[in-house]
Amino acid sequence: MTLWEIPLGVMLAYLFCLGAVVGSFLNVCIYRIPRHETVIGALRALTFPPSTCPHCARRIRPRDNIPILGWMLIGGRCRSCRNPVSIRYPAIELLNGLLVAGLYWAIVPSGYQSTAADSCLWTATGPLARVTLSHSQQVWLLHAQYLYYFFLVEALLVATFIDFDLKIIPDGVTVPAMFIGFLGPLIVGRLELTPVWATMPALQEILQFVLPESLARLAHGPPVPAWIDQYPRLHGLSVSVAGFLVGGGAVWLVRAVGQWILRREAMGFGDVILLAMIGSFMGWQAAILVFFLAPVFALLVVAGLFLYRLVVRPQSRQEQEIPYGPYLSLAALVLLFDWRNVWPAMQPLFSLGPLLPVVAVLLVVLLIASLLIVQGLKWSLGIPLFPEPEFGEWTSADQLQFFSGYDRHEHTMPLRSATWPGEQTGRGSAGYNAWRR
């Protein structure tokens, strides 16, 4: 049996096992990457030291490291100290196995018998629809696309769980993935979802009758450049660069506007880099769709959690901040798996040509207006407009000033029992007490 004759079921089973093994490595990434500030330091920490139990620091045996089954064989407890091992480890391995196999089924649904039109990434303006390719060339490019977006899915999974745990997205996750996002099109070409520039003649004819004459002329922008198909690698790189700039720029703009009006951090800088990384893989059109789709998922989850706390756990503390990276990742996955249905519906919006900057400016004005309306409603309801200032770091000077408020002669009129010599030193009474003794 040759590689081209492997049944689809066997391939999916193999990819599930491979995804579970990679998921075991992703658990290491989730745990170790946030503990290093530099990208190089985070990457080096992934290979050394070997995996150990966080409780007893005993090295984990190879048979206990088998994905999913290893956790079940030890009964969810460390073999040495019998402390519990979180169920999240096999859950991530299982989830990643399903994602890796599911992504293959979506992009190459019929295995080696698939054509470009069968893929979830196929659209009429996509790279595989604009050129004539043989069946073998189509299958090869479908597998290249699968491998390319496989790295995106893995990076999104790691970023999601780190953001859930620590509310940060380290550069050790996004920067290496972003490097692959730029490098893939340069090596292979024709990996992008859509061209960097697209127009719709039918839409331009409609706008000619709807818009004023001056704006209608703008709608008739330049046609699709010929070099897009002549130089597929150069075009793929331009798609990645445009996606990086638009994706990162959109979140950075919201971050800056929110901080200006609300006087607080609206989005973390890790979210800026995360959407820039997503844009480097999926292009600027998909990055904008992710930007607008992620808040929908976030609102649904936050509303569900609010109702849960209201009904089931009314005394629980309501968190003021939520990690936003998981919802950006979820939006990117939804678009990736259903791109062939999403893009035809959204293509007219991105085919406005030179009118797109006008639409972008209007959206920014609407964002500022909506934030000002929110502030006005808070003012009318008596809610503080800005968060209360937080205390900074407790310094040594603060410690000395704190102790200076106590009576110097604590042995005669003690306001607080001095049990640590450092307190006497901080009050300047250590020498006095030593003289008395």
Q: Which of 351, 382, 416 is the last residue of a domain?
A: 351
Mean pLDDT of the 392-419 span: 53
pLDDT bracket for residue 267 (50, 70, 90): confident
pLDDT at 26 over 50: yes
Higher pLDDT: 404 or 138? It is: 138
CA distance 374 to 319: 20
For residue 298, what pLDDT is reported? Answer: 87
Residue 4 maps to a domain: yes
Domain stops at, among 325, 351, 377: 351
Question: Is the same domain home to 97 and 195?
Answer: no
47-56, 98-107, 350-359: the lowest-pLDDT one: 350-359
Q: Which residues have CB under 8 Å from 165's CB, separation 6+?
A: 30, 34
230 Cβ neighbours under 8 A, 6+ residues apart:
none
Task: Give the closest residue to 99 by CA, choosing from 142, 51, 155.
Answer: 155
Asked whether the predicted pLDDT for residue 14 surpasses 90, the reply is: yes
| 125, 39: one domain | no
The answer to whether residues 35 and 45 touch, using CB atoms and an 8 Å cutoff, is: yes
The verdict on 145 and 75 lying in the same domain is: no
What pLDDT was estimated at residue 413?
44
Give the angle 235-364-164 at the CA atoms, nearest 5°. 75
Question: Do 252 and 315 sit in the same domain of this protein?
Answer: yes
Mean pLDDT of 8-30: 93
Task: Give the span between the Cα atoms of 255 and 291, in whole angstroms.
Answer: 13
Looking at residue 107, what is its pLDDT?
94
Is 90 part of any domain? yes
Mean pLDDT on 372-389: 71
Separation of alpha carbons 254 and 270, rounded Å: 13
Residues 89 and 146 in one domain: no
Burial of 368 (0-12, 13-18, 19+ CB in 10 A): middle
Domain-embedded: residue 367: no
End position of a domain, from candidates 60, 88, 107: 107
> Is the predicted pLDDT of residue 28 greater than 80, yes or no?
yes
User: Do 122 and 91 reside in the same domain of the chain?
Assistant: no
Q: How confident is the model at residue 269 (pLDDT cuts 50, 70, 90)?
A: confident
13 falls within a domain: yes
Check residue 320 and give its pLDDT: 59
Closest CA to 270 of 182, 392, 160: 160
User: Which amino acid is located at 252 in the chain?
Assistant: W
Indicate whether 408 pLDDT > 50: no
Residue 216 inside a domain? The answer is: no
Count of CA atoms in the C-beta half-sphere (13 A) of 427: 21
pLDDT digits (tens, 9 = 90+) for 200-234: 555 555 555 555 665 555 555 556 677 777 888 89
Kindly state whether residues 293 and 253 are assigned to the same domain.
yes
Residues 332-347 have a mean pLDDT of 92
What is the average per-residue pLDDT within 351-362? 72
* Residues 253 and 309 placed together within one structural domain of the fold: yes
Average per-residue pLDDT in the chain? 80
Asked if residue 129 belongs to a domain, the reply is yes
Q: Are residues 190 and 70 in the same domain?
A: no
More confident: 356 or 120: 120
The pLDDT assigned to 99 comes to: 96
Burial (CB count within 10 angstroms: exposed 0-12, middle 13-18, buried 19+), residue 274: buried
- Given 3-state DSSP classes, what are the helix, strand and coil percentages for the chain, each rounded to the nearest 5? 65, 0, 30
* Residue 411 in this model has a pLDDT that exceeds 60: no
Residue 385 lies in a domain: no
Tell me the per-residue pLDDT of 413-432, one tens digit each, with 9 for 90 and over: 444 444 455 556 555 666 66
Share of the chain above pLDDT 90, in %: 31
| Residue pLDDT, tens place only, 35-50 | 888 888 888 888 877 7
Band of pLDDT at residue 361, cut at 50, 70 and 90: confident
**234 inside domain:** yes
How many structural domains comprise the chain?
3
Residues 138 and 247 in one domain: yes
d(CA 15, CA 19): 6
Q: Is the pLDDT of residue 313 over 70?
A: no
Whether residue 269 sits in one domain with residue 139 = yes
Provide the residue range defining the domain that includes 327. 115-199+226-351
pLDDT in tens, 136-194: 888 899 999 999 999 999 999 999 999 988 888 999 999 999 999 999 999 998 899 98
Query: Are 13 and 139 in the same domain?
Result: no
Query: How far apart are alpha carbons 335 and 330 in whole angstroms?
Result: 9
Q: Is residue 60 over pLDDT 50?
A: yes
